[in-house]
Each structure stands twice: as C-alpha cells, then as structure tokens.
Amino acid sequence: MVGRVYLVGAGPGDPELLTLKAHRLIQSCDAIVYDRLVSEDVLKLAPFDAECFDVGKRPHDHPVPQDDINELLVSLALRGLSVVRLKGGDPLMFGRGGEEALTLQAGGIPFEIVPGITAAQGVAAAAMVPLTHRGVASSVRYLTGHCRADAELDFDWDGLADSDTTLVVYMGLANIIEICRELIDHGRSSDTPVLVVSRATRPEERRFSATLGTIPCAVKATGFESPVLFIIGEVAALSKYQEIPTDALQINHFAAAAE
Ligand SMILES: C[S@@+](CC[C@H](N)C(=O)[O-])C[C@H]1O[C@@H](n2cnc3c(N)ncnc32)[C@H](O)[C@@H]1O
C-alpha cells in the first residue's frame, strides 16, 4: 500500500495559529519532514515515535538538496507511511511546495495540500497592520527579496512604486537597502513607512519602524534576526505597536548620501 503525503503549512511560529487539520495530521503522522522555519513548539506536537527528518535550508546553505527532499518524500510514501511535509507559513508561498507537489504527482503518490498562515498574515495580525485599508492601500503585493542563485532583482519597479500598494517583502534582509533605493528612484516617497518584524508570533518577536529613507540605518542599528519580514506602505503607519525609532533611524540615508 502506498502511503500519503500531506504538504502542511505550519504557520509563522505560534502553534495556536495551526489549522485544526494541520494539528490533527501532525499528531497522527508516521513521518515528519520539516523545514528550518518550523518552530520547536509545533514540532513537539509530533508523536514521539514518528520518524523525523530535518531538511532545513539557510541562505547559501542547503544541506539537503531539493531533489533529495523530493526523493525522500516519495520513498517514505512508498513504504506506506503517512508523511507530513511541514513548511513554515503556507507551503505554496515562497516555500517550493509547488515543486514537491509536482514530483509527487509525477510519481503517482497520493498527496494533499493543507494551507497555513503565511508570514505576511501572521505579521499583519501581530503588529496590527491591515495590509489593505480603505483610502490608504487598495492592493497588496508579495515579493521575494532574494532571487534564485542570487540573480539580480528584476521587478516591475514602476508598479511597485505605486503609493496605493502595500509591499510585503519575504527573504529581504540581504537586499532590503537595494529594494528601498529602487523604490525611491522609481518615485515612491522616501518617507513611506516600513515596518520590520523579526520572528513574528514567537516569544522573541521584535518590531521596528523606519521609512524607505531610513532603512539602511535601521538595518545597521537594530541587527534584525532572521526570519524577518518587511511591510512597506502607508498602512505600516497604522501599526498600533510601533517602537520609538532611535536617533539613528531619523537619518534619511539616501537623502544624506545625495548631499
Ligand atoms: C522561504 S520563505 C517561506 C515563507 C513561508 N512559506 C510563508 O508562507 O510564510 C522564508 C521567509 O518568510 C518570512 N518569515 C517566515 N516566518 C516568519 C516569521 N515568523 N517572522 C517574520 N518573517 C517570517 C521571512 O521573510 C523569511 O525569510
């Protein structure tokens, strides 16, 4: 008998943000294959005798290549196991869940996708920032701040500079300064608020507020710890819990550099 693979979203960290379905599957699986962003509190829910495989990736460090992860899922299912492939946030949002689903489909392995709360939604709720807000932001765009093989960021900068659009940047730590500079160069105001949230929904969550112009100083001054999400747009100013910016954050880096 072939088993079944569940591509499950673990949410941003807080186990209470799991769906009921994810919770049930994690508690009853035979094997669990998990990513770096899955929190300890979520992993603790797995049965003590479940086979556990840590296949977590870090920037520039993929100890278990994606092809091997795909093969592992197929081989566990061929042993007849109920396999939970657990990913941070939602499996289909910057999570390579689509690639794994295609592999399973090609191998004739039964599988199901169980959505999770993506980091953007977790951060928005934790920081009380509505990603859209009547009269402030009529659309929202999710971006990766890091392209495959460190390729150059090649975005529709003019579209992203639209002041009615909220931008949510995943994996942006390495390139956030360049992203902010491009947005300003394409017409977005350097005073546009930016909310930075690291380790959202976890006990060690931290939040900082800056602007497109002050982001370089903020990055230096605060030493954000990964994972970090950036929310760019006027809605970020609606956050009820903004931390008071330090003096360093008052400096508009790009304006100062141009002088
Ligand atoms: C490879 S992507 C995976 C995204 C995930 N599938 C999701 O839906 O949230 C990893 C990025 O998600 C963001 N992220 C995930 N969890 C986060 C958290 N708890 N707090 C802040 N950012 C988070 C960070 O930008 C991180 O670099």
Which amino acid is present at 122?
G
Q: Around Cβ 164, how many Cβ atoms within 10 Å?
A: 12
Amino acid at 132: T
If you ran DSSP here, which 8-state letter would residue 59 be given?
T
Mapped onto helix, strand or coil, the DSSP state of residue 164 is coil
Is the CB of 88 within 6 Å of ligand 1?
A: yes
Atom of ligand 1 nearest to the CA of 205: 20
Residue 7 Cβ inside 6 Å of ligand 1? The answer reads no
Structure tokens belonging to residue 120: 């953007």
Per-residue pLDDT of the chain (259 residues; tens, 9 = 90+): 999 999 999 999 999 999 999 999 999 999 999 999 999 999 999 999 999 999 987 666 667 899 999 999 999 999 999 999 999 999 999 999 999 999 999 999 999 999 999 999 999 998 999 999 999 999 999 999 987 666 778 899 999 999 999 999 999 988 999 999 999 999 999 999 999 999 999 998 988 889 999 988 887 777 778 899 999 999 999 886 555 444 445 556 566 666 6
- pLDDT for the residue 64: 86
For the chain, list the domains and their CATH numbers.
4-114 (3.40.1010.10), 119-258 (3.30.950.10)
Query: Which of ligand 1's atoms lies nearest the C-alpha of 95?
Result: 6
Question: Which positions ≥6 away from 256 have C-beta within 8 Å?
Answer: none
Non-local (6+) Cβ contacts of 232 within 8 A are 166, 167, 168, 169, 180, 183, 192, 193, 194, 212
- Residue 108 burial by Cβ neighbours in a 10 Å radius (0-12, 13-18, 19+): exposed
Taking a C-beta distance cutoff of 8 angstroms, is the pair 43, 74 a contact? no
Cα(179) to ligand 1 centroid in Å equals 18
Question: Any idea which residues carry the catalytic annotation?
Answer: 35, 57, 171
Query: Which atom of ligand 1 is closest in space to residue 120's alpha carbon?
Result: 9
**Reduced 3-state DSSP string for 63-117:** CCCHHHHHHHHHHHHHCCCEEEEEECECCCCCCCHHHHHHHHHHCCCCEEEECCC
Ligand 1: does its nearest atom lie under 6 Å from the Cβ of 145? no
Cα 37 to chain centroid distance, Å, stands at 9
